[in-house]
Amino acid sequence: MNELPQQLVNGLLLGSMYGLVAIGYTMVYGIVQLINFAHGEIFMTGAFGALTVYMYILPDGTSMLIALPLMLLGAVIVSVIVAVGAERFAYRPLRGAPRLAPLITAIGLSLALQQAVWAWYPDAKSARPFPQIDGGPFHLGDVTIQTGDIFLLIAAPVSMALLGYFVMRTRTGRGMQATAQDPDTAKLMGVNTDRIIVIAFALGAVFAAVGGVAYGLKYGQIEFKMGFILGLKAFTAAVLGGIGNIYGAMIGGVVLGVAETLATAYIADIPGLDKFGSQSWADVWAFILLILVLLFRPQGLLGERVADRA
């Protein structure tokens, strides 16, 4: 049986998740040139927000059809509050400070958020099960798609299209583009840059929240440190796609996901490389790919469309 289509779908799903989180990195970087290392934790708090809605707010046994939109709403609310709070209290006081200061703050914030969830969320000291959508897997020829993955398959492109529309067509979106190009001039032109920056953080958080719910549905569990590795991968995806470019984040995510999956599946079949083919080597291959891309395109895959960065 040909396993390639299934592996491509596996990679596409993993990559879409990276992409959803990568958008937050890329938007914030595009506007304030800050690598928000706490973004992985915003993704994590979103997932816990969704779990809170399901476990503690909705009555037991609510159908997922009704619960899912509410969980998504809960995730978005929690993520946005955390992200906007982080911007207001951790990053805004440091605007204009040397670059390293907000970066270190971001790392500190990331640890603080992890530990806060660990310490205060009920039973969060080890992984908590996440509600699952019932219904068997779907078969398309050789490809099996899980019910939980359907959400990701729909949510990723839809939210991407909405974001594209928002940035390109709306007044606020154009304000974001202007701020990204030159914050000082944008301010002179009457753009409220503080507001734009808050919106960038909030939008990134919305995507992280969607990603958090997708993660829970896909893997059936969430934990306090799930954002750390995924955040690193998403950041990598953002760089791969061209940091600052929102489409690049999605493309970078998918390329990274597919690369990892294919490396796991096929590198071992290449004669002489059988020792380097297992999943524990997949990250190595993914980063070799990143280095190669950056060697030939230092601005990332879609990096040249500077006007689009927002």
- What six digits make up the tokens of 142? 């050789």
The secondary structure of 73-139 as a DSSP string is HHHHHHHHHHHHHHIIIIIGGGTTS-THHHHHHHHHHHHHHHHHHHHHSTTTTS-EE-----SPPEE
Alpha carbon dihedral 119, 123, 124, 126, in 10-degree steps, equals 120
Question: Residue 97, interface with another protein (CB under 8 A)?
Answer: yes
The CB-of-223 to another protein minimum distance in angstroms stands at 6
Pick from 33, 57, 85, 108: which binds another protein (CB under 8 A)? 108
By the 10 Å C-beta count (0-12 exposed, 13-18 middle, 19+ buried), 237 is classed as buried
Site string for another protein, 202-241 (x = CB under 8 A): -----------------xxx-x-xx--x------------
Alpha carbon dihedral 82, 227, 33, 298, in 10-degree steps, equals -160
Pick from 62, 144, 172, 192: which binds another protein (CB under 8 A)? 144
For the chain, where are the alpha helices, taking DSSP H only?
4-32, 39-52, 64-86, 100-120, 147-169, 171-181, 183-188, 193-219, 226-241, 246-266, 282-296
The CB-of-106 to another protein minimum distance in angstroms stands at 9
Question: Residue 181, interface with another protein (CB under 8 A)?
Answer: no
The CB-of-144 to another protein minimum distance in angstroms stands at 6
Sorted by sequence, the CB contacts under 8 Å of residue 298 that are 6+ apart come out as none
Task: Choose between 97 and 161: whose C-beta lies nearer to another protein.
Answer: 97
The CB-of-260 to another protein minimum distance in angstroms stands at 8
- Candidates 75-83, 202-210, 260-268, 297-305: pick the segment binding another protein (CB under 8 A): 260-268
Site string for another protein, 109-138 (x = CB under 8 A): x-xx--xx-xx-----xxx-x--x----x-
Pick from 264, 267, 285, 308: which binds another protein (CB under 8 A)? 264
Task: Choose between 12 and 210: whose C-beta lies nearer to another protein.
Answer: 12
Alpha carbon dihedral 108, 113, 116, 120, in 10-degree steps, equals 180
By the 10 Å C-beta count (0-12 exposed, 13-18 middle, 19+ buried), 3 is classed as exposed
Hey, which residues between 2 and 61 contact another protein (CB under 8 A)?
A: 3, 6-7, 10-11, 13-14
Note the residues at the interface with another protein (CB under 8 A): 1, 3, 6-7, 10-11, 13-14, 90, 93-94, 96-98, 101, 104-105, 108-109, 111-112, 115-116, 118-119, 125-127, 129, 132, 137, 144, 146, 219-221, 223, 225-226, 229, 260-262, 264-265, 278-283
